Structure 1
Amino acid sequence: MNDRSTGRSVIITGGTSGVGLATAHRFAAADGTRIALIGRNAERGKQAVTAVTAAAPRCDVHFVAGDANDPAQALAAVTAAGDLLGGVDVLVNSTTAFYVPGLLRDIPIEDIADILTGQALGPMHMCRAVLPWLAERGGGSIVNVASDAAKVPTPGEVVIGAAMAAIVTFSRTLAVEAKREGIRVNAVTPSLIEGTATGERALAGGFSKKLFEKARQQAHLGATEPDDLAGLIAFLCSPDAARITGQVISVNGGISVA
C-alpha cells in the first residue's frame, strides 16, 4: 500500500476553508507533499493556495474548480487533480451544505431533497471518481467528514442527520469493498466546529442557536476547532493508522460519547 507520510499526492474536497483548509496546512507540513484543493469558488481557492504556500513554501499546492455534487464535475476535478499531482494517494472530503438546523415541521417539503443530496452526494461522487487512481497506486486512504448528527438523534437535524448517516454508512461499506485493493476508508464526525462559516450560521439565531449553545455547554473538553479535525484526519491517512479502516470517530469535546 502507498501510505507514506512524505511525498504523497492529496486531494481535499472543500479544501478552501474551515476543516478542509486546516487539513491542507497539516498535510503541507510534510516534505514532498503535493495538494489539490477542490472547491466551487475560484477566488477563495486562490486565497487558500496562497495561504498554504506561505506557510509551507516547499509544498506543491493547486486549486481545481469543481462542484462535487455534480458527477461530471467530480470526475473532471479528480482527473485534473490527479494529472497535476502525478497520481493520488489520499482523498479528504470536507464539504458542507448551506443548511441551518430546524425542526422538520418548519422545513418546506420541497427543500428536503436538496438538503439530503446537497450534503451526501459530494463525498460519494468524489470517492467513486478517485477509486481507480488509488487502485493504480496500489492503495491509499480516504477520509469523509460527516457529523455526530449521524449517530445521535438531535431535534432540528432530522434531514441533515439522515444525510450524515448516509455518508457514514457509505464510508463503512466502501471500507469493506476497497480493503482488497489496499484502500482504507474512515469517517470523522464533529459536532459544532468553532471558527467556520457553518458554525457561524448555526449560531446566528433562532432554533439553531439554542441547539448549539446548549451543545457548546456540554463540550467540557472544549469546543471543536478545525485543527482538531485536521490532526485526526492526518493521523488516519498516515502509516500509524495502516490497520485502521471502516471507523467512525467523533471529535466533539465531550458533547456526546456515541
Structure 2
Amino acid sequence: MSVKAITDSSALIFGGTAGIGLASAERLLRDGLPRLLIVGRNQERGSRARDDLAGRFDKAEIHFLACDATQPDEVNAVVEAAASRLGAIDILVTSAGGDPMPRLLHTIPLEEVMPTLAGISAGILLPARAVLPQMTAQGGGSVICFASDAAKLATPGETVIGAAMAAIVMFCRGMAWEAKRHGIRVNCITPSIVGDTPLYARLKDDAFAGKLFGKVETMASLGIVTAADLAETVAFLASPAAARMTGQTISVTGGISAI
C-alpha cells in the first residue's frame, strides 16, 4: 500500500495549540502540508495558534476546534468534523496527554490513582481509536502517539505516570497489529525531558520534580530535547520514508536513556 506524500495529506493534531503538538504542526506545514486541523481545550489559545500558523503558511488550509480530548463524545465530534472539512485524515498526531506532575506513590490518595491513570492516557488513546473507522474506510493513514520514557524505565515519583505511559505504548502496539491490514501505521514517540514546553517550566519550579529532573538532565549528553526535535520525528513517521514502520516505540531523549 502506498503512503501519501505530506504535500498531498491532511493532518489532525490533538494538543496542537502549544508545545509538541504545535511544533509538529509547524514542521508538517514547512514540508508543504496543505490541510491541517489543530485541536486544544482553550478556545482563545487555539484561535491565536491557528491565526499565527495561517499568517505564516498562507497557502495551507488551517482550522482549529476546541475539544477536551478525554471526553469520547467531544473527540468523536472533532474527528467527524475534521474528516468533513479536510476530506480525509491521513495523519493523526495525538499529544494531548496533559501535564502530569511527579508524585511519590504513597502521597497519592487511593481514590486518585485510577482517575490519574485515565486522565493521562485518555487524551492520547481516544483520538487514536476515534480515527480508526475513517482511516480504515479510506484505506490507510499514520497515527503518531506521544507517551514518555516513563513507560519503559521505572522512576521514583512516576509510578502512576509510568503505568499510564505504558498503557499508551501497548495500545499503540496492539492497534498497529490490528490495523496494518487496512494500511494504517501506528507508532509512538517517547521523550524524557522536553526543555521548551509548559510542563518543563512547572517541573523546574516544583521542589521534588526540580531536584529529580535536575539530576536526569545531566545525562542528556546530546542536549536537552526540544519540541522541534520531536517534530522532526513526527514528520519522518508521517512521510513515505516510514511506509514500512508500524508498532514502534521510539525514544528521543538526548542520551538520558538507551532503552
Superposed pair shares fold, TM > 0.5? yes
1:7, distance to aligned residue in structure 2 (A) = 2.0
CA distance in 1, matches of 2:117, 2:4: 33
Q: Which amino acid aligns with 2:242?
A: A
Residues 40, 66 of structure 1: 8 Å contact kept: yes
Q: Cα distance, 1:110 vs. partner?
A: 2.1
Matches of 2:167 and 2:99 in 1, distance apart? 17
Report deviation, 1:53.
1.5
Corresponding position of 2:102: 101
CA distance in 1, matches of 2:34, 2:241: 17
The answer to whether the 8 A contact 2:97-2:124 is kept is no
The Cα RMSD (Å) is: 1.1
SS in 1 for 2:150: helix
Task: Report the residue type matching 2:54 in the other structure.
Answer: T
Report the TM-score when normalising by structure 1. 0.97
1:151 equivalent to 2:145? Answer no
The Cα shift of 1:238 comes to: 0.3
- What is the identity, as a one-letter code, of the residue corresponding to 1:12? I
Mean CA deviation greater in 32-41 or 229-238: 32-41
Equivalent pairs, count: 258
Return 5+ residue gaps in structure 2 as ranges.
none
Amino acid at match of 2:138: R
1:193 maps to 194
In structure 1, the partner of 2:45 is 44
Residue number in structure 2 paired with 1:169 = 170
Greater than 3 Å deviation, 4+ residue runs: none
Identity level (%): 47
Q: Residue by residue, what CA displacement relative to the aligned partner does 1:103-130 show, whole Å, maximum 9, x if unpaired? A: 1111222221221001111222111211
Counterpart AA for 2:105: L
Q: How does 1:51-66 map to 2 (within 5 A)?
A: 51-66=52-67
Report matched runs for 1:57-96 at 5 Å.
57-96=58-97
* Structure 1: distance between partners of 2:201 and 2:207: 13
Q: Deviations over 1:22-72 (max 9, x none)?
A: 000011123352111011111111111122122211111100111111111
Q: Deviations over 1:64-97 (max 9, x none)?
A: 1111111111100111111111111010001122
Return the alpha-carbon distance in structure 2 between the equivalents of residues 62 and 94 of structure 1. 17
Q: Give 3-state SS (helix, strand or coil) of 2:205's partner.
A: coil
1:121 maps to a residue whose letter is: A
Q: What does residue 4 of structure 2 align with?
A: 3
Kindly indicate whether the alpha-carbon contact (under 8 Å) linking 2:3 and 2:240 is maintained by their aligned counterparts in 1. no
Return the letter of the residue paired with 1:167. I
Q: Distance in 1 between matches of 2:67 and 2:25?
A: 17
Q: Normalized against structure 2, the TM-score is what?
A: 0.97
Query: 1:181 aligns to what?
Result: 182
Cα offset, 1:204, TM superposition = 1.0
Q: Distance in 2 between matches of 1:84 and 1:225?
A: 31
1:2 Cα deviation (Å)?
4.2
Amino acid at match of 2:157: G
Deviation at 1:166, TM superposition (A): 0.2
Pair 1:111 & 2:118 matched: no
Contact 2:225-2:253 within 8 A present in 1 as well: yes
**Match of residue 212 from structure 1:** 213
Q: Is the 8 A contact 1:22 1:230 kept in 2?
A: yes
Give the 5 Å matches for 1:19-30. 19-30=20-31
User: In structure 1, the residue corresponding to 2:224 is in which secondary structure?
Assistant: coil
